[in-house]
């Protein structure tokens, strides 16, 4: 499209082009035209003022009716986006200094007698300024490996595995340092589905302190996690669509307040499905570590199977909730461990445990989760179903080994 040509209007040039012998009639017509133009300019000014008055009155009228202009909504949307982005940035700035990368190395000999160095990577976060670090148990599970921690600034530390949790995929390691930045542990029970969360970790063991953002997709998930020759049932997990990759294991899942509310631990073989251990399930273990240097958990001493509606229908059970005390498939996997608190209380194979201290065992709150609320040597009341009849027994909880 050709741009319109624009020329300046020059009074001197216009006068030089005027005819020198105009008639009176032409002059009168010119005066008439000039007068008309002046009148039009005056009317235009009056109309402009009137328009301003009308716009003002119209705005007041729209305000009385509760109407809003589109520009206001757009501003609100932009403001909301800016606030969300700012909250994410602030949360990352708050937590990232306390996030560390963990590498494992060991010398391995293959079947041909050749030696080589095997390595692995994970993530952790600092909880005390003298070097206590939380990570996943599977990140530091190899007793033959040497573990090294790299902090936010790239400084290198030798790490010692202090304790591993017999119940969760959770471990605590220690580095020799002081004055370290620490994270703030939040309340994972206060999470809502749809809430924004941030994952920070050593993605793929190569890209340290990578940040991804998503939402809480679900709560209370149960999975069978496998990897490195291990398999473990994990319960009560947070599901998120924030991208979690290999190497992110043990890293923090953070809310917009900059509080750690989960430990990234596993991913499904699908896009944007990751799982994290809620911080509330490990807080007692953390306190135990600080006091004793060990993770101590209460134990009942049974093998059990969570009862679902499908399991109840298939086996014609009288209840569709609770925990069925059962014998494992392998030889020696007894339903009740001899000498355990459960054995001493008279709990038997095929009993269905319904409640602990009147708290019902369901798919959302498993037997193991409820037990973690108590301390070793606490006495609890257990309601169970045996041969169609309910009975109650008292059990003094032991220590999980």
| Alpha-carbon 187 to chain mean position | 12
Q: What is the CATH number of the domain that holds 205?
A: 2.40.10.10
Terminal alpha carbon distance of the chain? 83
Question: Does residue 169 carry a catalytic annotation?
Answer: yes
302 DSSP assignment:
B
* pLDDT, tens only, 133-157: 999 999 998 888 899 999 999 999 9
Interatomic CA distance for residues 226 and 6, integer angstroms = 75
Answer whether residue 119 shows pLDDT above 70: yes
For residues 284 and 332, state if they share a domain: no
* pLDDT, tens only, 339-377: 999 999 999 999 999 999 989 998 878 898 899 889 899
**Nearest-5° Cα angle at 328, 300 to 227:** 90
Question: Does residue 249 carry a catalytic annotation?
Answer: yes
Sign of the four-CA dihedral 292, 294, 295, 299:
negative
For residues 213 and 280, state if they share a domain: yes
For residues 158 and 195, state if they share a domain: no
Interatomic CA distance for residues 240 and 251, integer angstroms = 14
pLDDT at residue 251, as a whole number = 94
Selected catalytic residue, list 96, 101, 104, 138: 138
The tally of domains found in the chain comes to 3
Answer whether residue 158 shows pLDDT above 70: yes
For residues 270 and 324, state if they share a domain: no
* pLDDT, tens only, 160-210: 999 998 788 999 999 999 999 999 999 999 999 999 999 999 887 777 888
Answer whether residue 23 shows pLDDT above 80: no
* pLDDT, tens only, 35-87: 544 555 555 544 444 443 444 444 454 454 444 444 445 555 565 556 667 88
For residues 155 and 215, state if they share a domain: no
For residues 199 and 278, state if they share a domain: yes
For residues 343 and 373, state if they share a domain: yes
264 DSSP assignment:
E
- 392 against 118, higher pLDDT: 392
Last-in-domain residue among 257, 289, 321: 289
Last-in-domain residue among 175, 200, 217: 175
Residue 13 pLDDT grade (very low, low, confident, very high; cuts 50, 70, 90): very low
Question: Does residue 378 carry a catalytic annotation?
Answer: no
Interatomic CA distance for residues 250 and 265, integer angstroms = 6
pLDDT at residue 35, as a whole number = 52
For residues 241 and 164, state if they share a domain: no
pLDDT at residue 44, as a whole number = 52
For residues 308 and 258, state if they share a domain: no
In 10 A of CB 114, how many CB atoms?
A: 8
* pLDDT, tens only, 237-282: 999 999 888 888 899 999 999 999 999 998 877 678 899 999 998 8
Selected catalytic residue, list 249, 288, 351, 366: 249
For residues 196 and 252, state if they share a domain: yes
In a domain, 360, yes or no: yes
Selected catalytic residue, list 169, 188, 288, 351: 169
pLDDT at residue 128, as a whole number = 94
- The pTM of the full predicted model, rounded to 2 decimals, is 0.70
Within 8 A by CB and 6+ apart from 381, the residues are 356, 357, 358, 392, 393, 394, 395
For residues 238 and 159, state if they share a domain: no
Interatomic CA distance for residues 335 and 276, integer angstroms = 29
pLDDT at residue 259, as a whole number = 96
Average pLDDT, the chain: 80
Interatomic CA distance for residues 374 and 207, integer angstroms = 40
Residue 230 pLDDT grade (very low, low, confident, very high; cuts 50, 70, 90): low
281 DSSP assignment:
G
What distances in angstroms separate CA 310 from CA 219, 237, 372, one per listed residue? 21, 22, 27
Show the domain range for 336: 298-399
In a domain, 10, yes or no: no
Q: Which of 35-39, 57-61, 294-298, 384-388 has the highest mean pLDDT?
A: 384-388
Answer whether residue 22 shows pLDDT above 60: no
Q: What is the CATH number of the domain that holds 373?
A: 2.30.42.10
What does the block give as tokens for 168?
């969760």
| Alpha-carbon 88 to chain mean position | 12
For residues 211 and 263, state if they share a domain: yes
In a domain, 195, yes or no: yes
Residue 98 pLDDT grade (very low, low, confident, very high; cuts 50, 70, 90): very high
Last-in-domain residue among 127, 146, 175: 175
């Amino acid at each position: 499209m050709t741009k319109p040509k624009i020329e300046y209007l020059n009074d001197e040039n216009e006068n030089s082009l005027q005819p020198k012998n105009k008639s009176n009639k032409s002059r009168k017509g010119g005066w008439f035209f000039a007068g008309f133009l002046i009148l039009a300019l005056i009317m235009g000014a009056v109309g402009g003022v009137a328009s301003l008055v009308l716009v003002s009155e119209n705005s007041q009228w729209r305000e009385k009716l509760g109407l809003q202009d589109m520009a206001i909504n757009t501003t609100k949307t932009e403001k909301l986006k800016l606030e969300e982005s700012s909250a994410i940035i602030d949360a990352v700035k708050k937590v990232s200094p306390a996030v560390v990368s963990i590498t494992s190395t060991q010398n391995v000999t293959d079947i041909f007698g050749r030696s080589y160095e095997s390595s692995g990577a994970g993530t952790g976060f600092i909880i005390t300024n003298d070097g206590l670090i939380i990570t996943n148990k599977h990140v530091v599970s190899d007793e033959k490996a040497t573990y090294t921690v790299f902090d936010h600034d790239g400084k290198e530390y030798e790490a010692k595995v202090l304790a591993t949790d017999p119940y969760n995929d959770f471990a605590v390691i220690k580095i020799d340092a002081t004055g370290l930045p620490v994270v703030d542990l939040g309340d994972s029970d206060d999470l809502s589905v749809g809430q924004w969360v941030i994952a920070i970790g050593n993605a793929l063991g190569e890209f340290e302190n990578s940040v991804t953002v998503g939402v809480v997709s679900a709560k209370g998930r149960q999975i069978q996690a496998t990897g490195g020759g291990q398999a473990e049932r994990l319960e009560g997990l947070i599901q998120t669509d924030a991208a979690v990759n290999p190497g992110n294991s043990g890293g923090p899942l953070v809310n917009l307040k900059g509080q750690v509310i989960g430990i990234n631990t596993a991913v499904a073989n699908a896009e944007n499905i990751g799982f994290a251990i809620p911080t509330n399930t490990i807080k007692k273990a953390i306190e135990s570590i600080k006091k004793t240097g060990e993770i101590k958990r209460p134990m009942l001493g049974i093998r059990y199977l969570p009862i679902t509606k499908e399991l109840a229908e298939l086996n014609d059970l009288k209840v569709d909730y609770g925990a069925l005390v059962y014998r494992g498939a392998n030889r020696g996997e007894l339903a009740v461990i001899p000498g355990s608190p459960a054995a001493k209380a008279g709990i038997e194979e095929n009993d269905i445990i319904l409640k602990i201290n009147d708290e019902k065992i369901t798919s959302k709150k498993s037997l193991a989760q409820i037990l973690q609320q108590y301390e070793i040597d606490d006495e609890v009341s257990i309601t169970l179903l045996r041969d169609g009849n309910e009975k109650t027994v008292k059990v003094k909880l032991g220590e999980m080994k």
